[in-house]
Amino acid sequence: MQQHYAMMRDQAPQSASDFCDPQTNTLRRAWFFKPQAIGKVPIFAVFVLLSFFFAPLPPTQADAATDFPEVMIILDGSGSMWGTAGEKSKIKAAQEVLHQLIPFLPPEVKIGLTVYGHRRKGSCDDIEIMLPAGSDNRSLLLKFVDGINPKGKTPIADSIKTVVSTLKNNENETTIILVSDGEETCSPDPCGVVRELKTTGIRFILQVVGFDVNQKQKEELACLATAGGGRYFDAADAAGLLAALKTVEQEVVAKVEFEKAKTTVKKKKSGLGKLRVTFPSGSEKSLAHIRIIRKQDGKTIKNVDNPSAESIHPLLSGAYDIVLGYANSNNQKPSEIEPLPISIAAEETTDLKLGSLMFNVAEAFDRLPASSVTLRRDDGRVVLETPENGNNYYFFTSKPLPPGCYSFTYFYKTLKAPVIAATGIVINPDAESVLTLDSGIKIKKHDQNMTGFDLISLISGRPVLQVQRRWDNDYPLWESFALPPGNYALHVYLKGMEEPLPAVDEIIVHKGELLEIDTGL
């Protein structure tokens, strides 16, 4: 099932706005713990960082900017960038996309710009670091971007080598994002150059976006990404470039959450401290319990049933895991999420700040054909699964959650894979977020013996919904299925036919619309 989800996740967004980004409620800061002194000024801070797209919390003086990678954009300024991609020139498209991204990055993010081929024709030395990776001058960066006048060749390998050479003394990991519309025109073995650079021990990752490239160019650029420890992304036009760069954001946040989330203690004390757990009022009924587990021996030292929106727990100083348990229907055992690590220090209060997810569900989807619904991180990892247990009451009950970016999926035993109903759900600390399910499809009932159907995304060519009837009745063929807005095609399966029948070539689902599809059968 996880593999099915990963395949569907890659193609689920129907437009660039479906990604979790600064223009669509971007998660700028994730849940964190901020100790406060009891009766005196604080002497240490504990941060658990689960940030989005290079977005760190404000560092302490001792920790200043040591936990997150810096960023360097290498932008193609060769003459071919005057070519068109979609309705505008590639250089114009790149300039517009960067204007949509750069201003919305939080001020803590340090980002630089390198350009090649923008000053002289026919020169393999035309490489310029306009701003170093540690720069925070966004307006100057965009001014440089707007001033690029494509002219020359494509010295990709030397550009990467030039950038990496400036990172020798950099303790942070630098994410290099190469945007190019063609293959190397100066170095005979650009992949070899990148492989050699990775053996130097200098900390960098190379992400590559191929902008309107052919198959040969794509293979070379993909080789660079693989050699640089990153990924390759295709972009055919401005919208594709925007989507690709936002996907890079997702890669970075996954790495931050996995590798950088940690608790840092500046000074250790003996004695008691306190844990304060807070979340927006109104979502208490979904939270069945809070378990506090001592890391040292894995023992549950406190279990809080039906916790209120604010609770305080005295604890000995040390490391703990906090486990949230969520209520299920018909008195079934609560569903627990992965432990949230914290540290408690003497005479100080550590805050665990949760957000809250509220549901706005159209009446047509109240009885969603599902045996379970799931909230996942954007990398596909399951955070919380809520089973039906004969009653779907808790499917759409407000839930306290750790801040982060989520997707919402549902599953029934006759579906071939989970259905992604929504992505880019942003949960912020001590704040309410709303998930609206108001778009989807329903097949109009007909007399043919239909055994199932597939709904295919016209963007990716992959199925987003694969439904089969039960063995004993035709459920859930005629039910309403929640889906993101987008363009789809419908293939149906009829009894006695070995191949699916393309019933409808193009279906457009709009936001706020339940589309009833007449197959004509």
Write the secondary structure of 465-508 as one string of H (helix), E (strand) and C (coil): EEEECCCCCCCCCCCEEECCCEEEEEEEEECCCCCCEEEEEEEE
- Shortest CA distance to 112 belongs to which of 156, 165, 70? 70
Q: Give tens-digit pLDDT for 451-489.
A: 999 999 999 999 999 999 999 999 999 999 999 999 999
For residues 350-356, give the mean pLDDT.
Answer: 95
- The DSSP call for residue 273 is E
CA-closest candidate to residue 390, choices 325, 478, 331, 465 = 331
Residue 86 has pLDDT above 50, yes or no: yes
Q: What is the mean pLDDT of the chain?
A: 84
User: Which residues neighbour 283 within 8 Å (Cβ) at sequence distance 6 or greater?
Assistant: 309, 356, 357, 358, 397, 398, 399, 400
Question: Per-residue pLDDT tens for 130-139?
Answer: 999 878 888 9
pLDDT tens string 387-398: 998 899 999 999
Residue 156 has pLDDT above 90, yes or no: yes
Dihedral of alpha carbons 69, 428, 375, 234, sign: negative
One-letter amino acid at 431 equals A
Q: How far, in Å, CA of 231 to CA of 133, rounded?
A: 20
> Which residue type occupies 166?
T
Query: Is the predicted pLDDT of residue 269 greater than 70, yes or no?
Result: no
User: pLDDT tens, 357-394?
Assistant: 999 999 999 999 999 999 998 778 899 999 998 899 99
pLDDT-wise least confident of 60-64, 222-226, 485-489: 60-64
CA dist 110 → 49, 99, 142, 202 (Å): 17, 16, 14, 18
Element (H, E) at 363: none
Examine the pLDDT at 238 and tell me if it is beyond 50: yes
Give pLDDT, residue 293: 97
* Residue predicted with more confidence, 173 or 253: 173
More confident: 253 or 451: 451
Q: In the chain, what percentage of residues exceed pLDDT 90?
A: 66
Q: How far apart are CA 208 and CA 185, in angstroms?
A: 17
Average pLDDT over residues 233-262: 70
Q: How far are the Cα atoms of 55, 288, 328, 388, 394 from residue 331, in angstroms, in the given order?
A: 41, 11, 7, 12, 12
Residue-level pLDDT at 22? 37
Q: Tens of pLDDT along 407-441?
A: 999 999 999 999 999 999 999 999 999 999 999 99
Kindly give the interhelix angle for 215-227 and 190-198, rounded to the nearest 10 degrees. Answer: 10
Mean pLDDT of 113-135: 93
* Confidence class for position 494, pLDDT limits 50, 70, 90: very high
Amino acid sitting at position 128: E
